[in-house]
Amino acid sequence: MKNPVIRPRRLRSTPALRRLAGETRLHPADLVLPLFVREGTSEPLPIRSMPGVVQHSIDSARRAVTDAAAAGIGGVMLFGVPAVRDATGTGATDPNGILNVATSAIVAEVGADLVVQTDLCLDEFTDHGHCGVLDASGRVDNDATLERYRDMALAHAAAGSQLLGLSGMMDGQVAAVREVLDENGHADTAVLAYSAKYASAFYGPFRDAVESTLEGDRRSYQLDPGNRREGVREALLDIDEGADIVMVKPAGGYLDVLSDVAAISDIPVWAYQVSGEYAMIEAAAANGWINRRRAVEESVLSIRRAGADAVLTYWAVELATWLNEERTR
């Protein structure tokens, strides 16, 4: 038998060759850490369905972001867990509300070293758990919600947020927020549009993390998991409205959508490796069914390979630490 002329295995034969021929790489600067800050606690509180993740106090959040900066990750995305909620989520716009107070504290701590980002959505702050204001029939009122988002944008920018994560999936939210920021002296505050955010089962543990009060579901405003083209359409609309970055969420189950969005976008594309993706790997690893470190690395690498310029992941600091160790060997 004649030896084959083409032997792709040549470039896999040694660690050095594999490294040199690698197409996709992970770097700490491409990682963003989601962080939960809870009102009224003096110590970090474990989240039952997310082993290793906690609801932070202000002080423990300061320590966590200091560690994150030392690891060299790109940023942190802050979520507030308030003690009191109401129908319109007034805590979201209160300068003394937990998210705005935490933002100011964290910007003061690491604002020069990390991009401090905030989740601009009402679901953590409403007593009904929806991402917007409800009308008389109990449906989310898109345009009334935009007014609340405009107020939130100003509150977050005043607290020092450098990038606003618009995760509510209201029509026109990017245009509404961009306009109010520009009109009020915050032209440099960036907007991250959660453009292709799907109504996913993989958000379950996140509901524990923010102590969600949601009844029902969010299918009237989040995307249907079976819709691929719609994700691209939403991203194009947000780009046209002035988004600085677009997002696909969840990441692992929507790599096709992520690839599609990356192919058409002329601005950065991010992806969020959500709580359920995290919890599944942690659970399988705890049972000894998979190699935890390899699964974590491969899962994030796959998201980058599909086209994400940056990844929000609860493993951001741990993964960055591993990457730093590898580079210093």
In the chain, where the domains are located: 27-327
In this prediction, residue 317 has a pLDDT band, given cuts at 50, 70 and 90, of: very high
The reported pLDDT for the residue numbered 327 is 84
- pLDDT higher than 70, residue 1: no
- pLDDT higher than 80, residue 2: no
What is the distance of C-alpha 312 from the center of its chain?
5
Torsion angle, alpha carbons of 254, 257, 262, 266, to 10: -130
Nearest Cα to 123, choosing from 165, 174, 60?
165
* Alpha-carbon span 310 to 213, nearest angstrom: 30
Tell me the DSSP string of 57-105: PHHHHHHHHHHHHHHT-SEEEEEEE-S--BTT-GGGT-TTSHHHHHHHH
pLDDT in tens, 99-136: 999 999 999 999 999 999 999 999 999 999 999 999 99
- pLDDT higher than 80, residue 270: yes
H-assigned helices in the chain: 15-20, 58-71, 98-110, 142-159, 173-183, 204-209, 229-241, 255-264, 275-286, 292-305, 316-327
- pLDDT higher than 90, residue 313: yes
* Residue listed under structure tokens 């992520």: 258
Nearest Cα to 65, choosing from 242, 258, 317, 325?
317
The reported pLDDT for the residue numbered 116 is 98
Q: Is 243 helix (H, G, I), strand (E, B) or coil?
A: coil
Contacts of 252 (CB under 8 A, 6+ apart): 202, 273, 277, 299, 302, 303
For residues 153-179, give the mean pLDDT: 98
* CATH superfamily, region 27-327: Aldolase class I (3.20.20.70)
The reported pLDDT for the residue numbered 31 is 98
For residues 285-291, give the mean pLDDT: 98
Question: pLDDT over 70 for what percent of the chain?
Answer: 100
The reported pLDDT for the residue numbered 3 is 74
For residues 150-169, give the mean pLDDT: 98
Give the Å distances, CA to CA, from 298 to 72, 290, 292: 20, 12, 10
- Report residue 106 as tokens: 């964290």
- Report residue 191 as tokens: 């907007």
Contact 179, 147 (CB under 8 A): no
* Alpha-carbon span 121 to 150, nearest angstrom: 11
Nearest Cα to 317, choosing from 24, 26, 28, 53?
28
The reported pLDDT for the residue numbered 109 is 97
Nearest Cα to 82, choosing from 169, 212, 215, 276?
212
Which residues are the active-site residues?
Answer: 197, 249
Mean per-residue pLDDT of the chain = 96
More confident: 55 or 211: 55
Q: What are phi and psi of 33, to 5 degrees?
A: -100, 115
Contacts of 129 (CB under 8 A, 6+ apart): 123, 212, 213, 214, 215
**Dihedral-angle region of residue 142 (phi above 0 means left; psi in -120 to 50 means alpha; beta otherwise):** alpha
In this prediction, residue 178 has a pLDDT band, given cuts at 50, 70 and 90, of: very high
In this prediction, residue 254 has a pLDDT band, given cuts at 50, 70 and 90, of: very high
pTM above 0.85, yes or no: yes
The full length of the chain comes to 329
The reported pLDDT for the residue numbered 18 is 93
Contacts of 220 (CB under 8 A, 6+ apart): 139, 140
- pLDDT higher than 80, residue 78: yes
